[in-house]
Structure 1
Amino acid sequence: MKAASKKEVILNTAEDLFYQNGFHAVGVKSILNEVGVAPMTMYYHFKSKEVLIIEILKRREIRYFDFIKEKTNGANSFTVYAESLIQAHMDWMKTDGFNGCLFLRAKQEYEGVNEEITTMSKDHKTTLLNKIERETKSFNNSNMLGMKLFMILEGVTSMAQILEMEEIEKSAFNLAKNIQAVNE
């Protein structure tokens, strides 16, 4: 297997540090110490900490959308789609989302400080909502199912901070069944 490039190591390490501690709590020096590279190496790949954050968010978005696409691909009904999407999101939360949403954290920390990061964070949520609405509309000619399903996913993300995942999962699936029953 090919060794990860310095750029990849910086991206992966910084993402982990930001996710665990927050963006403002982690300085460039912490990242450099953790990776074991000189400042010149970091600034060769990323002109600033904010450029690094933008790259991390872009990569994370691609990973998330690829992950849920793989899990929902081939769904032939709203029920199958909703269950697949919720399960995919739950699986993501269990492995990559244990500490909430990195996009919401970025928006909170950079609102009024860096418009590009804030906009990127908002756009991520809008893109997810639009994707779910578009995909659910193919099963039921209504955007409301998509919005409701999106709200379930956001609730899962939020509640994962305070409740056990098994309880959240059960509730999310029950809510999805209820929204489908109401819209039939």
Structure 2
Amino acid sequence: MHSSPKKSSAARDRLLRVASGLFYREGIHTIGLDRVLAEAGVTRATMYRHFAGKEGLVLAYLGEEDAALRALFAEGASSAAEAADLLDVLIGGIADDISQHHTRGCPFINAAAEYPNATSPVRKLVASHRDWFRDTLEQVLVAAGAEDPAAGAASLVLLRDAALVGGYLDGVEQTKTAFERTARKVLA
């Protein structure tokens, strides 16, 4: 599902960093490859040496987002003494993500909106990420002894989706507080 890993280089890293910023801030389809290349200071040949076209660059961008969120979850899990503590850490981590990292909505929801074909590689990557996110939340809720872990996980996914969109539209501080309050009520 993810594009095959390519050998890292300064040019590749710069290209991915620039493309990721542009795609997240301005949208994937509104950004032309020429702009990405110009702002990254790389040639088209360099881009094709590392990525299978623009879609390959989009997949790498979303793959980096997925890896960053997985790392945050792993970090939270290692810092929590008990499963109940992990729930608080995860709610706080999601709230921080809403207010600090993803202030223009969810990169996966944004990408899905631009790729309506559910069988496209981009949508498959989005679906894989969402499955991991939901499954991970459910595992945490099982460990915490939640009454209905699947329903709790589904509720948290829905709340996070809404909070990421709401943070962009209504302001992150108001949304962060509302997310934390609502998530705790849902899980109580």
TM tier relative to shorter chain? 0.7 to 0.9
Residues 35-114 of structure 1: pairs in structure 2 closer than 5 A: 35-73=40-78, 74-78=80-84, 80-112=85-117
**1:40-66 deviations in whole A, cap 9, x for unaligned?**
111111121001111111111001110
Distance 2:171 2:144 in 1: 31
1:158 to 158, 161, 165: 165
Distance 1:174 1:113 in 2: 33
Residues 115-130 of structure 1: pairs in structure 2 closer than 5 A: 115-130=120-135
Percent pairwise identity: 21
- Counterpart of 1:138? 143
**1:108-158 deviations in whole A, cap 9, x for unaligned?**
111229711111112211210111011111112532222222222222112
SS in structure 2 at match of 1:26: coil
Per-residue deviation, 1:105: 1.4
Q: Does 1:19 align with 2:40?
A: no
Aligned pair in 2 of structure 1 residues 38, 18: CA closer, same or farther (>3 Å)?
same
Aligned pair in 2 of structure 1 residues 90, 26: CA closer, same or farther (>3 Å)?
same
Confirm or deny: 8 A CA contact 1:107 1:122 kept in the other structure: no
Distance 1:104 1:164 in 2: 18
Confirm or deny: 8 A CA contact 2:95 2:179 kept in the other structure: no
* Amino acid aligned to 1:26: I
Confirm or deny: 8 A CA contact 2:59 2:122 kept in the other structure: yes
Distance 1:149 1:75 in 2: 21
After TM superposition, the score normalised by the length of structure 2 is: 0.85
Aligned pair in 2 of structure 1 residues 164, 106: CA closer, same or farther (>3 Å)?
closer
* Amino acid aligned to 2:82: N
Per-residue deviation, 1:17: 0.6
* Amino acid aligned to 2:186: I
Which ranges of structure 2 fall in alignment gaps of 5 or more residues?
Answer: 1-8
Per-residue deviation, 1:173: 2.2
Which ranges of structure 1 fall in alignment gaps of 5 or more residues?
Answer: none
Aligned pair in 2 of structure 1 residues 113, 49: CA closer, same or farther (>3 Å)?
farther
After TM superposition, the score normalised by the length of structure 1 is: 0.87
Count of aligned positions: 177
Bigger RCO (CA 8 Å, 6+ sep)? 2
